[in-house]
Amino acid sequence: MRRYWIPIAPVSQLDENPVRKIRMLGEDLVLYRNTSGGLGLIGDRCLHRLVDLQYGIPDERGLRCPYHGWLFGETGKCLERPMEAKPEADIGRSLKGYPVEELGGLVFAYMGPLPAPALPRWDLFVWPNAIRQIAVQVIDCNWLQCQENTGDPTHSAWAHGHMFNYVLNRKGETDRMQDKVHTIHTRKAVGVGIKEIYASQTKHGFRKGIKYSTELGAEKDETKEHSTVIFPFYTQTGKTGAPRSEYQIRVPMDDTHTYHICYQVYAAPEGMQAPEQTSIPYYTPPTIDADGNPILDYVLAQDAVTWKAQGPIADRSSELLGRTDIPIVVLRRQLDEQITRVEQGKAPMNTWAESPPIIYGKGSPPDLSQPLLRHTFRGLYHLGFGNDDADRYGPLFETVKELHREIEAFQLGRAAAQDVKAAALAEAGEH
């Protein structure tokens, strides 16, 4: 993990408070923005009397301890000790200090050996003509339990299908699942007619999916690709440039707590302009209702409860794996291979001395020639489908619904124009 740039906070959190306590990779740190606009990530205790620097005062050059004003710069070095005989003398001791950079509305930290690799420009962070919002949560379990979820394409049938159905029935909200393209029905279908689960390593992670057979009960013989895994802690759902795509990012705060980020991107198609966005807002999707009961009627909450239900750290020695876990095995082997590379003094995958302008997690630029499909529910939030995702709690949800409404109208209009053109060409050909 210390060979990678790790997202530690939305930039917009520093707009609310320029000093924030951060726990990452088992360390307690303080992230701050100084009055010159620069960022720093340093140890959380002043060297003087061990005061917690989350209460520190931003300065032009760094962060001052609120107790006696000792000033610490972005490297953790003490720059000034007011009221001492030699205020700016080098005292020979420093706090920890880690490099931080901004990208796509997130603050990233590099906590490993120097020199640091380049901060990679993964496509969703830099894709143009889109609006974004960021959901952040703390999940009370080991990060790998969360990440392994992405290597499990069949869990949708029960966690997001049958359990979802059960939850809505108990709540008396059966009207929410009447539409045949509701996520419940598409998720249940995931488990019907499975012929084979496949998984294989790729340039940036691994791909996986399910092959279906009509002989086993599927509606048709087909292969369905699942979300893309980008090593070490990214998952991409939806294709880049779609009306809705997302990175799910799971990074370890410590052994039993995970910082979980849903980086949600809503792109407009070529020929249409997305709304202007000056900053990327964040939010925290709720997991407990007013009565203290778990909220389980949206997809991310269903995932989170199953991760936590495995315990703080799952004992994998007592598991009983089956064929649905083939991608899990690939994920674990890939992790083990990259750990071995680091032990041998080699660079792990997905690290660059200089990042390309854009890196496609799926390995190649997306094909955006296909119009919005009616069954793609995550492109139809304006028709009610966004109510089943964490996005519904986001500050941009109404803006996203309006964008989806405009995208649908735009694409239907473009399709109609193409039909008219094709008919005119056909008629001209007849004459």
**E-only strand ranges, 343-423:** none
Among 304, 340, 377, residue whose Cα is nearest residue 136:
304
**CA dist., res. 334 & res. 330, Å (int):** 6
Beta pairing, strands 194-201 & 205-212: antiparallel
Q: What is the H or E stretch that residue 206 is in?
A: strand 205-212
**CA dist., res. 254 & res. 14, Å (int):** 23
Tally Cβ neighbours within 10 Å of residue 219. Answer: 10
pLDDT score recorded for residue 372: 56
The DSSP symbol for 1 reads -
pLDDT score recorded for residue 423: 64
Burial class (CB in 10 A: 0-12, 13-18, 19+), 23: middle
pLDDT score recorded for residue 174: 83
Residue segments in the chain with a per-residue pLDDT below the cut of 70: 180-181, 370-376, 417-431
Name the superfamily (CATH) of residues 5-110. Rieske [2Fe-2S] iron-sulphur domain (2.102.10.10)
Find residue 198's DSSP bridge partners.
Answer: 209
Among 36, 231, 274, residue whose Cα is nearest residue 133:
274
pLDDT score recorded for residue 415: 74
Among 73, 69, 48, 70, residue whose Cα is nearest residue 60:
73
pLDDT score recorded for residue 104: 98
Q: What are the domain boundaries of the chain?
A: 5-110, 123-413
Do 172 and 314 form a contact (C-beta atoms < 8 A)?
Answer: no
- The amino acid present at 311, given as its one-letter code, is G
- Domain 123-413 belongs in CATH node 3.30.70: no
pLDDT score recorded for residue 379: 86
Reading phi first (left if > 0) and then psi (alpha if -120 to 50, else beta), residue 281 is in: beta
pLDDT score recorded for residue 182: 74
Q: What does pTM read for this prediction?
A: 0.93
